[in-house]
Structure 1
Amino acid sequence: MFERFTRIEEGLAMAFFAITAGLVFAGALARTLGEPLIWAIDIAQCAFAWASVLGADVALKRNAHIAIDILARRFPRGVRRLLAAVWLGVIAVFLAALVYYGTRLTLLNLERPLGDVGISYGFVTSAIPAGALLMLITAVRRLWRGIRGEETLPLAGRDGTVT
């Protein structure tokens, strides 16, 4: 079920990115032709926000984020596992704060219109708490599975995992 959800999430991220690229291109082309699509950039902004957070969660699930492990590699395996667990814990705390403050930001922006489109700017800002919640679930799941030995923790191996 988790893999199926990840595939859906990845598909949505790709769709939002395609919408972003398509609208930016269409907006630029229309402006060049003297008929600007004023709404295109506003919708592209919303789609890009959602593509970013959904893509970030998919990357977290696949351990595809950039890691600088020059120091961590030098530690023994046990210390690397501990560092990986602590780091996932720090990430989880940060993501929980993003969920909280992102929700507050979204609530503050519900009445604000998104450009000339006529929809709420809350659609853009809601990407922050929604994406942070998805990443929080992923981080906690990885930490739990790593502690139980069901999954390798991400840090300092040649492939980015503690082996």
Structure 2
Amino acid sequence: MRTFHNAVGKIEAVAAAILLMMMVLLIFSGGIARLLAHPLNWTIDFATCFFAWACFLCADIAWRRDGLMSIDILIQHLPLAVQKALVTVNHLLISAFLMYVIYAGTWLSWISRARSFQGIPSISYSWITMSLPVGATLLLITTLLKLLDHFRARQPPLSAAVM
């Protein structure tokens, strides 16, 4: 499972980088085209889609690397048992929230399936909203693996997940 998760992480990093580069290129080319009086209205729609997907992929990458902001100045002075309990509670709260996002994102994707992009009427808006449940699922898997590592004591009690 860990090997598969690491492989998915590498794929996420490549996909996020490609999506961010394509987003920038689309916005830039759309701006140049508009300057030349030949607007490409569809560029913003695709850039929006790429941005949504890149946000969730990058969030999982940052979570995997403990690169998210944390406030642990008070927590580090607590006894080790309390620190471990807080990390556990925090991971469980994060997991509960992500499960809600998966549910709500799936529902949102379902109800927006008939909606289309303004500049691209043949493509469903669900392509953007599916980034919610897919991204939340990736984040949930990472959170559960972090929780498992915490219980197996592979991870120090203070991490980016504390507060």
Task: Report if TM-score (shorter chain) is over 0.5.
Answer: yes
Alignment counterpart, residue 140 of structure 2, candidates 131, 136, 139: 136
Partner of 1:27: 30
> CA contact under 8 A between 2:70 and 2:161: conserved in structure 1?
no
Determine the C-alpha separation between the residues in 1 that align with 2:12 and 2:73: 32
Alignment of 1:116-155 (within 5 A): 116-117=119-120, 118-155=122-159
CA distance change for structure 1 residues 154 and 123 in 2, over 3 Å: closer, same or farther?
A: farther
Alignment of 1:88-103 (within 5 A): 88-103=91-106
CA distance change for structure 1 residues 80 and 22 in 2, over 3 Å: closer, same or farther?
A: same
Deviation track 1:37-78 (CA, whole Å, cap 9, x = no partner) reads: 100000000000000000101111111011122321221222
Partner of 1:86: 89
Matched residue SS, 2:23: helix
CA RMSD, 1 decimal: 1.5
Matched residue SS, 1:13: helix
> CA contact under 8 A between 2:91 and 2:143: conserved in structure 1?
yes
> CA contact under 8 A between 2:90 and 2:161: conserved in structure 1?
no
Determine the C-alpha separation between the residues in 1 that align with 2:136 and 2:17: 18
Shift of 1:81: 1.6
Moved over 6 A (4+): none
